[in-house]
């Protein structure tokens, strides 16, 4: 990250802290509903603008996800008296839960682990570094193989970034946190992939913000469930358009919306098929392979082009290579320092 972005990070952190202090104060004094929502409007308007303070793609996209998506939805829930935020929380905890993709673990559930272990994190980081090192040969790669590498890059980078954010909050706040991913490569169907395994911070806010209100308005039964699912996928697509705008600074193309709308239709169809108990189902390994193939094939078609077409992938690769080079040099320097200290003692 350049020096300018380091200064931007300090400024954005200060602005977010001040904004959340105001939100917490307003939530204590204003009742839930339209009055509280009106009090939150200045913060809701400012948060999506803050990521543009960063020049590099990575901090702009990450802060966009944290602030313009997750924080906005959590504040909307707080405005209605719902969600993970509580104005009685200490200010540091309130700011952390509002602005980071973390949730306090439900004590009634037995979730497996609260984040990546050190060994798993090291393996994932090594795999990501290996993928980044392969990009130097990208001009000679098969385009589809390159997109497979991009898919792995997205997964590993998201897993590591969200795990690091959760670990930082856990270390500072002492919170017991739920995992952000749950082995999405084992998904048996799209509902499993998007709802229970991939980037769990997103369904955690889409369900109460979108799915349940739509389902309640449409009514109970299969029609309400289908409407809630379709609405959540549609909103996710629109929010991904915004995330791509942070990355490319280009107008939305609509492809991300089509990608998630298509997956929403497929998820509803899966649920309809699963409701018929006597109908055939593929074995679990086959179902998992088909699910991942569908995600990757539609991703090649609709998800990646808005990023690769304007060349944002090249910028991401260049920034990733710079980070890997910095970490490699820092590791070499640290190892040399340790060897020198040991040699001096002997």
- pLDDT average, residue stretch 323-332: 78
With 80 as the cut, is the pLDDT of residue 294 above it?
yes
Q: What is the mean pLDDT of residues 92-118?
A: 73
Hunting for tokens 């200060």 — which residue is that?
14
Contact (Cβ atoms closer than 8 angstroms) between residue 20 and residue 94? yes
Q: Which of 220, 244, 233 is closest to 57 using CA atoms?
A: 244
Residue 104 is classified by DSSP as B
Residue 270 has pLDDT above 90, yes or no: yes
Return the pLDDT at 112: 45
For residue range 156-206, list pLDDT tens digits in order.
999 998 888 888 887 777 777 777 899 999 999 999 999 999 999 999 999
Output the pLDDT for position 128. 94
Asked which of 40-49, 75-84, 131-140, 216-225 is least confident by mean pLDDT, the reply is: 216-225
CB atoms within 10 A of CB 261: 18
pTM of the model: 0.90
User: Where is average pLDDT lowest: 176-180, 277-281, 342-346?
Assistant: 342-346
* Mean pLDDT within 121-129: 91
pLDDT at 227 over 80: yes
Does position 251 have pLDDT exceeding 50, yes or no? yes
Q: What is the pLDDT of residues 139-169, one digit of tens each?
A: 999 999 999 999 999 999 999 988 888 888 8
The pLDDT of residue 53 is above 70: yes
% of the chain with per-residue pLDDT over 90: 72
Instruction: Judge whether residue 326 has pLDDT over 90.
Output: no
Q: Which pLDDT does position 183 carry in this prediction?
A: 93
Res 343: pLDDT? 74
Concatenated DSSP letters of 162-202 = HHHHHHHHHHHH---B--S---GGG-SSHHHIIIIIS-THH
* Residue 264: per-residue pLDDT: 97
The answer for residues whose C-beta is within 8 angstroms of residue 329's C-beta and 6 or more apart is: none
């Amino acid at each position: 990250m350049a020096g300018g972005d380091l200064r931007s990070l300090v400024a954005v952190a200060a602005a977010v802290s001040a904004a959340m202090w105001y939100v917490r104060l307003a939530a204590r004094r204003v009742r839930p509903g339209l009055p509280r929502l009106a009090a939150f409007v200045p913060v809701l308007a400012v948060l999506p603008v803050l990521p543009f303070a960063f020049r590099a793609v990575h901090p702009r996209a990450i802060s966009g996800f944290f602030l313009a998506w997750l924080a906005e939805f959590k504040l909307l829930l707080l405005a209605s008296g719902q969600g993970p935020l509580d104005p009685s929380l200490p200010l540091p905890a309130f700011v952390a839960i509002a602005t980071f993709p973390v949730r306090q673990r439900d004590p009634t559930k037995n979730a497996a682990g609260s984040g990546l272990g050190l060994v798993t994190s090291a393996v994932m980081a090594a795999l990501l570094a290996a993928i980044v090192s392969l990009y130097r040969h990208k001009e000679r790669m098969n385009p589809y193989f390159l997109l497979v590498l991009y898919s792995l890059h997205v997964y590993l980078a998201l897993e590591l970034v969200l795990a690091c954010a959760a670990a930082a909050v856990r270390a500072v706040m002492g919170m017991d946190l739920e995992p952000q991913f749950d082995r999405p490569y084992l998904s048996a169907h799209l509902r499993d992939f998007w709802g229970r395994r991939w980037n769990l911070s997103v369904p955690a806010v889409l369900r109460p913000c979108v799915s349940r209100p739509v389902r309640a308005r449409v009514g109970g039964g299969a029609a309400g469930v289908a409407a809630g699912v379709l609405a959540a996928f549609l909103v996710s697509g629109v929010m991904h358009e915004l995330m791509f705008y942070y990355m490319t600074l280009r107008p939305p193309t609509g492809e991300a919306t089509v990608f998630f709308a298509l997956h929403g239709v497929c998820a509803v169809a899966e649920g309809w098929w699963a409701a018929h108990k006597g109908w055939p189902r593929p074995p679990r390994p086959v179902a998992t392979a088909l699910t991942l193939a569908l995600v990757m094939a539609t991703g090649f078609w609709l998800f990646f082009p808005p990023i690769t077409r304007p060349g944002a992938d090249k910028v991401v690769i260049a920034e990733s290579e710079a980070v890997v080079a910095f970490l490699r040099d820092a590791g070499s320097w640290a190892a040399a320092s340790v060897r020198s200290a040991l040699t001096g003692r002997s």
